[in-house]
Amino acid sequence: MSRIALILGCGKGIGTTIADGFHSAGYRVASVSRTPRSYASDDRVHLTADFADPSSIEPLFEEVEKRWGNAPDVVIYNAYAGTPTRTNPLEVAPDAFVNNININTTSAYSAAFIAHKRNNNVKYIYTGNALNNYIDPNITLLGVGKSASAHWIQAAAKAEGFYYCDQRRPDGSPCYTGLRGDAHGELYLKLAESREQGEPVIVFRA
Ligand SMILES: NC(=O)c1ccc[n+]([C@@H]2O[C@H](COP(=O)([O-])OP(=O)(O)OC[C@H]3O[C@@H](n4cnc5c(N)ncnc54)[C@H](OP(=O)(O)O)[C@@H]3O)[C@@H](O)[C@H]2O)c1
């Protein structure tokens, strides 16, 4: 039976390229975003959910198990929220802070918690950026969420199979734009299939 990848946050950006790569490698792929899409094959499905609400995560695992009989082998958390803070790092009201931290951290943690509970050999890969190491006052809330996630992922790596991945430009500077879906896809597939926990924070240049 082919392995299952669940890709949380999959749209026009790198998510779809990552999903295509796993599907081409023989995985059954369930992708998720707020926007509906449809696929014609039995081994590929797109589900809808809004990760602003962390309770949206568990039903996705239930749906995957109902459809394919097993828990995911690989969970990729790729969604993000980045309400800008261009004029003042504290300009955003606390309700937007909660929304951003739910999408960048709480739902990501919830996915890891549920994934590991249902399959303790699961590989969990989070699409990060450089904000676990850099302070950028223009995107304070994105930085809070990414750095919090980098923290618990490094702790969770003790249980094996947890990664925070950060694409950089060829010169090593933070990427911001120009993300390479193909480079993420190749790396994620390699991590999904590796037998040992490597360094949990992976900085790669592409
Ligand atoms: N390394 C770097 O420097 C760097 C630079 C840029 C981005 N990134 C990271 O790369 C990742 C992917 O970015 P991308 O622009 O390529 O986007 P993407 O692959 O399109 O994936 C993100 C998708 O998540 C979905 N999403 C967003 N909020 C959601 C929510 N509340 N609930 C459910 N789904 C939601 C969106 O679809 P819907 O709108 O349909 O929900 C969106 O298409 C992000 O984690 C981002 O932080 C890293």
- What residue spans define the domains of the chain? 4-205
Could you confirm whether 146 is annotated as catalytic?
Answer: yes
Cα dihedral 108, 109, 113, 119, rounded to 10, equals 40
Q: What would the pLDDT profile of 56-71 be if each residue is shown by its tens digit? A: 999 999 999 999 999 9
* 171 phi, psi to nearest 5 deg: -90, 0
Of 32, 38, 80, the one to substitute when testing ligand 1's pocket (max ligand atoms within 8 A of C-beta) is 80
Q: In whole numbers, what is the pLDDT of the chain averaged over residues?
A: 97
Q: Which superfamily does 4-205 belong to?
A: NAD(P)-binding Rossmann-like Domain (3.40.50.720)
Of 179, 187, 201, the one to substitute when testing ligand 1's pocket (max ligand atoms within 8 A of C-beta) is 179
How long is the chain?
206
Structure confidence at residue 91 as a pLDDT band (50, 70, 90): very high
Helix or strand holding residue 48 (H, E): strand 44-48
